[in-house]
Structure 1
C-alpha cells in the first residue's frame, strides 16, 4: 500500500538535513573565521615590519638591519621594497633580482593586493605612501602565503572529517532518540495487531505518550461498542430462532385443518416450506449452542474449543454413536476472534457428524500456519461437486437437513483471516476431508489449557 512516508522516516530525514545544514553553515563560518584571523595576524605583522621600515628611511643603509634576518635570506618568503621619488629602488636581499610591482601612491595612501612572487608563489603585498621631505616614498612589504594556505587547507580537511564524524554521531544519537520516542507507538502497533487477531481484549495506555492516550482510549471505546453490538446481534439471532419455534409448531398443526386436508398439493407445499424454515431455525440454534457466550474478539485455546464443540455435537448426534479420533496439541492458541473460530469449526464438525457413518477425525498441525483437518467416513462427494460446496445456498442433497450456507460461511471466515480452505472429496476415512489453514501468530500455554486433553492423543468419543 502506497501513501505518505512514515512519520519516523520523515522526522529522521528532516532532522538529518537540519543537522547537515547546521554543521555545513558552522563549518563555513569557522573556515571563514580562521581565514580572517590568520590573514589579520599576517597583515598585523607585515604592518609592523612596514612601520619599522618607515621609521628607518632616514638611514637607508640600515634598512635590512632594522628588520628580522629572514629578509636577508634569498627567496625566504619575506620581502620589502622601497621606491624613492627620484627613481631609486631599495629591495631586500630575499627578493634577489626580482622586483615587486608597487603602484604610485600619495602620501598617507594605503594599498593591499596579491601578486606572484619571485618563484611564482602567491604574495600578499602591503604598500604605503610616505612623505619624506618634499617627495613621496613608497614602502612595500610582502609575504609568501603558500605555507599558510597549505596549513589552512589541512585544517579545513580536518574540520571536514571532524564534521562528518560529528554528523554521523549526531545521526546515530538522533536515531536512538527517535527509537526511544517511537517505541511506545511501535508497541501500540504490535498490540493493535494482537487485538485484530483476538489476542488482546483492549489496548493498554501504559507507557503510551500523553498525546496519543486519547486516540487509544477512543479506539478502546469503539471496540467496546462494536463488541457489544456483535454480541447483541448474535443473541438477537438466537432469540429470533427460539421465538420462531412456537409459531412454526402452530403452523405445523394447521395440516390437520379440514380446509388443508381437502387439498393434498397445498398440504405438501405447506409442509415443504415449514420444513425448510425449521431447518434454518435449527441451524441457527445449533450455531448459537456451539458459539457459547464468550466475549467477541478474544483468541481461543484450540484444544479447549475443540473439546467443547465435540461434547456439544456428541449430545446433538447421540443416536449415531460417532467415534472421534482427536489429535490436537494443547499448546496451540488460535489468534483470531473466538466466535469466528468456533463458528468455523462448528460448521465443519457439524457437517462431519451429520454425514459420518461412525467415525470423525480432527487433526491439528502447526508450522507457518495452523492447519486443522476434519474428515469423516461418510459418502463424500465427487471431484466436480467439491468445487461447488462453498457456493452460498447450494445444497447437493435436498433430502438432508441444512441451509446450504455452512461451507460458504467457513470460506468467508477463512478469507477474512487470510487463510486457506482445501476440500478433498475422499479423505483418509473415505468421506469428505476439509483442511482449514489459519495464520499462526503465537503459541502460548495458558493456565486454562492445562485442563484440556493431553497433546497428540487419539481417544474415541461416543455420544452418551
Structure 2
C-alpha cells in the first residue's frame, strides 16, 4: 500500500520534471529569439556592406568604409567581416593583428557559428554575391560572448526562481495535506483513547471528502460507548441483584438450626463470601473496562494523607511508619484507578509489614508507583505468580487474594506492567506498577 508521503514525493518529482522542462523550453526559446534578432542585424549589416563593395578589374574588390559602420574599423570590437573573390580577399580592420576566421562555404545564404579571432564564439552570416562578372563570398560575424553571459545570468536566475517555487509548492502542498489529515489524526487519537474514555471526533474543519468517514467513525465510537455502558450497567445490575439473595443466605446461616452443624455453617459462610468477593471483583473489572473518562487527574499530595490515615485505622493492631513521596502536581491519570492501585498495594504492604511501609510515586514519560515494606517478603518461586487470580501467598492472613489481581487488571487495561521483587531498602516485598501516559 502506497503511503501519502510517497505519493507526495511522486507529485514533487512530477513538479521537478515540469519545471525542468519549462526551464529548458524557455532557455531554448530565449536563445532562438536572441540569435534570430542577431541574425536579422547581421543581414542588415550584410546589406550595408554589399552596397559599399566595389569591384574594379584592375584593383579587385574594395570597400567604402564610410558607408560601413565604424564598429568594423575598431580592432577587437566583436563585429567582423570577410570578403573573398577569385582574385582577392579582404577582411575588416576589426581583426587587428589576429588571424581572420575561415570563410564557411555557402551556396546562397546561411547562418552558422565559428570560432572568432580571439577564441570567442561568433555568429556568422554567409552570403554569396554576384557583382557583375565577379562572384564574392561575404561573411559578417558578431561576438556571442555578451549574449552568452546574459543567458548564463538568466539561467541561474530562472533556476533559483524554479527551485524557490518548487520548495514553496512542496511546503504548501505538505501543509495543506497535513491540515486535511488533521481531522483524521484526531479520529485516530480518539480511537486510541477508547480504553480510557470515549471522546467525540471533531469534524468541523475536516475536508468534504473526509468528513463522511469521520462521521461514521464518530457514530461507531458512540455505538461502542453505548455498548460499554449497557454492558457495565448490566453487570452492575446483575451483581446487585445477586447481593440481596446472598445477604438472605448469610442471615439464614445464623439460624439456631445450624448450631448443631458448625462445619456446615462454616462451609456456607466460605461459599457465600467467595461469591461476594467474585461479585466485587467483577464490579471492579466492569468499572475498568467501562466508561473511564478523563477526570481532573490525581493529586497525590491531596489524596495520600487521607489514605495513610485510613490504613493506620484499619491496621491499628500494629504500629506502622507509613511514608510517601509524590510529585507536587496533578497527575493526568484516572483518580479512581490510582486510588485502587495504591490502596490495594499499600493495604497489602501494611498487612505484611513489621513496622515500615514506603510509597513512592514518580512521573516522567509515564507513571511509576513503588510500594515496599519491611515484612518477611516472598519466596522467589512465588514472585512470578503473585497477582494471579485467586492466589493467596499465605492462607493464615486475612483477605481474599483479590487486591493484587485488581491491581494487575488495572495495569493490563492501561497497557502498563506489574513487577514484584525484594526490597533493597526495607528488606521485604517491593511492588512496582508502571502506567504509560
Q: Give the shorter-chain TM-score range.
A: 0.7 to 0.9
Q: Distance in 2 between matches of 1:306 and 1:421?
A: 22
Unpaired runs of at least 5, structure 1: 442-464
- How far did residue 68 of structure 1 move? 0.7
8 Å CA contact 1:381–1:426 kept in 2: the answer is no
- How far did residue 44 of structure 1 move? 0.7
Q: Distance in 2 between matches of 1:329 and 1:290?
A: 28
Q: Deviations over 1:90-111 (max 9, x none)?
A: 3323346636323252xxx222
Q: Deviations over 1:250-287 (max 9, x none)?
A: 69979x9x9xx99x9xx87x975983564143242366
What residue number does 2:58 align with? none
2:234 is equivalent to residue 223 of structure 1: no
Q: Distance in 2 between matches of 1:111 and 1:248?
A: 117
Q: Distance in 2 between matches of 1:169 and 1:227?
A: 44
What residue number does 1:288 align with? 283
- Label 1:75 to 1:373 Cα distance change in 2 as closer, same or farther (>3 A): closer
What residue number does 2:47 align with? 51
Q: Deviations over 1:108-147 (max 9, x none)?
A: x222222233344333222223333455433322223233
Q: Distance in 2 between matches of 1:129 and 1:400?
A: 123
- How far did residue 385 of structure 1 move? 3.2
Q: Name the count of aligned residue pairs.
A: 423
2:407 is equivalent to residue 410 of structure 1: yes
For the residue of structure 2 that corresponds to 1:137, the secondary structure is: strand
- Label 1:289 to 1:181 Cα distance change in 2 as closer, same or farther (>3 A): closer
What residue number does 2:17 align with? 21
Superposition pairs of residues 371-390 of structure 1, within 5 angstroms: 371-374=368-371, 381-390=378-387
What residue number does 2:94 align with? 94
- Label 1:430 to 1:290 Cα distance change in 2 as closer, same or farther (>3 A): farther
For the residue of structure 2 that corresponds to 1:387, the secondary structure is: helix
Q: Distance in 1 between matches of 2:229 and 2:342?
A: 19
For the residue of structure 2 that corresponds to 1:112, the secondary structure is: strand
- Label 1:300 to 1:326 Cα distance change in 2 as closer, same or farther (>3 A): farther
Q: Distance in 1 between matches of 2:367 and 2:181?
A: 32
- Label 1:428 to 1:222 Cα distance change in 2 as closer, same or farther (>3 A): farther
Q: Distance in 2 between matches of 1:185 and 1:138?
A: 77
User: CA-atom RMSD, angstroms?
Assistant: 4.9
Q: Distance in 1 between matches of 2:212 and 2:104?
A: 78
Q: Distance in 1 between matches of 2:228 and 2:6?
A: 39
- Label 1:190 to 1:249 Cα distance change in 2 as closer, same or farther (>3 A): closer
What residue number does 2:69 align with? 68
Q: Distance in 1 between matches of 2:434 and 2:199?
A: 24
Superposition pairs of residues 323-362 of structure 1, within 5 angstroms: 331-335=329-333, 344-345=341-342, 347-348=344-345, 351=348
Q: Distance in 1 between matches of 2:127 and 2:101?
A: 16
Indicate the larger mover: 51-60 or 61-70.
51-60
Counterpart selection for 2:230 from 229, 232, 238: 232
Q: Distance in 1 between matches of 2:221 and 2:348?
A: 33
Superposition pairs of residues 223-262 of structure 1, within 5 angstroms: 223-244=221-242, 246=245
